[in-house]
Amino acid sequence: MRKIVLCADDYGLTRAINGAIRELVEHRKLSATSVMVVAPGCEATEVTALTKSAAGKAQIGLHVTLTAPYQPLASAKFDPLPQLMQRALLYRLDRSRLRAEIVAQIERFKALFGRPPDFVDGHQHVQLLPQIRDAFLAAVALHAPQAWVRQCGRAPTAPHKTRDRKALILDILSVRFRRKAAALTVRTNPAFAGTYDFSTNRDFPSLFEGFLAGLPDGGVVMCHPGQVDADLLALDPLTSQREREFEFFNSTAFDHLLATKGVTLA
């Protein structure tokens, strides 16, 4: 049996997403979730509820967020993702401000949960970008040294590796990220899966079966289950797809797929 980490991103985004993630955690349909401490749904009551639901069942990590429309803890404002990517690739970001914001989010997590995160990753994979990766890894190494961090490179044996453009970009960005993490003795996951174009007509059960192909023991599969409400519609373009993922993970078809593939949740 392969043990994988099935991680629901975006806890804290809205109460409806939070409730869906907690339900899956309680039913052992997830083994991790990462929390957006700067999102409007990351309230004290929602943190307490997650702590109770995840006890002995799932890891809780920090979902470092550096893009609009969310409000930073230690910076003036966040840019939208395209502008942030452009500035990062041109090495025009302020490293000290980056590190201050990431440290502030780690410390906010500690204040909310009373402990450091089990792992740290990034909303929209920002942790992989130039400049950000250095600030991100340095902050984790110093302020959450026992945590592992998410690299987004696929397994060497993953099928059809050249067909998914987004996954291919993440593969490339993850090479240097892994090297820098190793130099700081920060642990990373051995492989990653879960990217797709989030179009509303995708067959998610078939996609998920593909995510498992070639994924080694300890590999991470990213997912975004949730329920849609007015708060989500105002904040994020990923909407009805979340409900499709939630429905699949809550089904016996999901349990059957894991069993037939020889996979359990770590």
Dist CA 96 CA 8 (whole Å): 30
Predicted local confidence at residue 199, as pLDDT: 67
Q: Position of tokens 């804290």?
A: 12
Low-confidence ranges of the chain (pLDDT < 50): none
Q: Phi and psi at residue 164, in whole multiples of 5°?
A: -100, 105
pLDDT in tens, 196-217: 986 667 799 999 999 999 999 9
Cα(25)–Cα(32) distance, integer angstroms: 8
Structure tokens at 184: 């700081």
Whether the pTM exceeds 0.85: the reply is yes
Give the C-alpha separation, 78 to 49, whole Å.
28
Output the CATH code of domain 2-265.
3.20.20.370
Paired strand residues for 149? 120, 188
**C-alpha neighbours within 13 Å on the C-beta side of residue 218:** 9
Which pLDDT does position 157 carry in this prediction? 81
The share of the chain scoring above pLDDT 70, in percent, equals 98
Q: At what angle do helices 252-260 and 204-212 cross, to 10 degrees?
A: 30
- Residue 33, strand partner residues: 8, 60
Count of alpha carbons within 13 angstroms of residue 239, beta-carbon side: 10
pLDDT tens across 39-92, in order?
999 999 999 999 999 999 999 999 999 999 999 999 889 999 999 999 999 999
SS (H, E, C) the chain: CEEEEEEEEEECCCHHHHHHHHHHHHCCCCCEEEECCCCCCCCHHHHHHHHHHHCCCCEEEEEECCECCCCCCCCCCCECHHHHHHHHHCCCCCHHHHHHHHHHHHHHHHHHHCCCCCEEEEHHHHHHCCCHHHHHHHHHHHHCCCCEECCCCCCCCCCCCCCCHHHHHHHHHHHHHHHHHHHCCCCECCCEECCCCCCCCCCHHHHHHHHHCCCCCCCEEEECCCCCCHHHHHHCCCCHHHHHHHHHHCCHHHHHHHHHCCEEEC
